[in-house]
Amino acid sequence: MRFLVLVVHDEPDVELLYAPGTQRHIKGALKAGATMEEIMEVLKLSIVQGAQACNLGVPILAEEIAGVSEAVARP
């Protein structure tokens, strides 16, 4: 299912922000024989993957911002 893989690979954003690309891959998956249940499962997995990335990345970003803030605040 090449198109289902492309949905996850090309659109890993939490909100799947590039709608035309997502639509193109979903239409391709449907033409290739994917079911709506399979497509929904792929979209759910993609959203979970993006949320996990945020859960890992936001604390790191907060630490870096705090470090920069401290460095700037020092005379």
User: Over the stretch 14-52, which tens digit does the pLDDT of each residue have?
Assistant: 445 677 877 888 888 888 888 999 888 888 887 777 778
Count other C-beta atoms under 10 Å from residue 1's C-beta. 14
The label of the residue with tokens 């605040």 reads: 73
Give dist(CA 47, CA 33) in Å, integer: 23
Give the start-to-end residue ranges of the domains of the chain.
Answer: 2-73
Q: What is the pLDDT of residue 42?
A: 83
Q: What is the pLDDT of residue 60?
A: 92
